[in-house]
Structure 1
Amino acid sequence: MTGNCNKFNTKMSGLRVLVGCKRVIDYAVKIRVKPDKSGVVTDGVKHSMNPFDEIAIEEAVRMKEKKIASEVIALSCGPTQCQETLRTALAMGADRAIHVKVEGKDYEGLQPLHVSKILSKVAQDEKADIVLVGKQAIDDDSNQTGQMTAALLDWPQATFASKIEKNNGNLTVVREIDGGLETIKVNIPAVLTTDLRLNEPRYATLPNIMKAKKKPLATKTASDLGVDLTPRQEVLSVEDPPVRQAGQKVESVEELVKKLQDAGLVPS
């Protein structure tokens, strides 16, 4: 038993962290639906790294600064422009990056299950100890990739993490849940997803942006990894949210109740 513990502690001293970095429409951009309602307008629109994935990169880099991790690998799936997102991750402190090139119809139909399969395969190929991703992407809000990656790898998972600490050969994770906070322990290897309050991502400085250009960035395809990108779902229509109706002012509680009753919102 002692021998196993020593072997495990040796592994813990140099964890390899794989971080998912999704390229999304920038959070400050006003989204416009295409005239044919097949999706949203992306041409000529500013894109950036998904904010929750920025938090994931920041946490991985902090793990390396604390000597918990020995290497941080950033991964992004999508068109050539995803390399800009990966360069941002490298400028923030990631050691190297992997771009899984997905374009055209395959990219339009790319779904969380496809990304999970890619992440799980790369995690196995790279012998990663931790897969770290944002809890959700701000474009589709699916909140599925981390959970499905854990299932495919058959690894423990800790989602919605607001605090992560190394503790006696495992990780102690504080999770944000509906009822407050929950603290759990997970063994390595594990999949973690980051919540908003985990940290505040650093800015990529100009010197680090210049250094990032020299860091390794490998390009692969889904077929290289043996991942089938056939869509499992079909988008039938994308609609703008309904315009909010104008409110009404009332002079008294009695008038309010009467209007609610007339609208059938409260019993008469």
Structure 2
Amino acid sequence: MALRPVQVNIKAVDALAVGRFWAEALGWTAYRPGVTTYVGPAGGLVWPDPVALGIDVVPVPEPKSATKNRVHLDLATTSADHQAELVARLRAAGATPVDVGQGDVPWTVLADPEGNEFCVLEPREVYRDTGPIAAVVVDCVDPRAMARFWGAATDWTPHEVTDDQATLRSAAGTGPYLEFLRSPDGKTVPDRVHLDLLPYPGDDKAAEVHRLRALGATDLDLGQGDVPWTCLSDPEGHEFCVLARS
């Protein structure tokens, strides 16, 4: 039994505009199948079995707080020219430079039009085959504990686990990495960005949710009401959702 991450959920006041920005960032297409704006590879939606880790932009009335998001995306590039071109293109599309204390580093830190931070990485061999999203990065207090929880929750395999950083990737060796970086600051505000997980065909959602609770997840009430998905928090309080197969 396992769950697989299928989309990154981003909250936005103007979900369509933010969705279009991320489509530009990733070279993908923004779809609006309902209230939310989904960003995925061209060719139409492939739900409920997406072939890539997409982005689902959900409209909310509250703007982002000044607090840095504890979950962000790293974007992959293939050359120094590609990195420079992507940064310039995204700034033209509404991204702004952000100082999160990164100092003099080879990557560029930007924020999308509603302030969600992300990084445009310099070329790295480890990310050469991830697609446009190199990694989903999570700030946490204990990377080892987070790797244990998320490794058990999903079918993703640990690649590096230290006191400062833990890295997981799909057992198939495809798509982006899930990375946990040690941060001394605990979580103080609800996550603006989180992961959505989906059971594999034939697996029971209720059983999977029960398994996650046994691993240390806790139930979460965001005022979601009666919905087909289940909202949970991981052991450090990061929100995530277990979706129902349609």
Same fold (TM over 0.5): no
Select the structure that is richer in strand: 2
Select the structure that is richer in helix: 1
Q: TM-score when scaled to structure 1?
A: 0.29
Q: Which has the larger radius of gyration?
A: 1
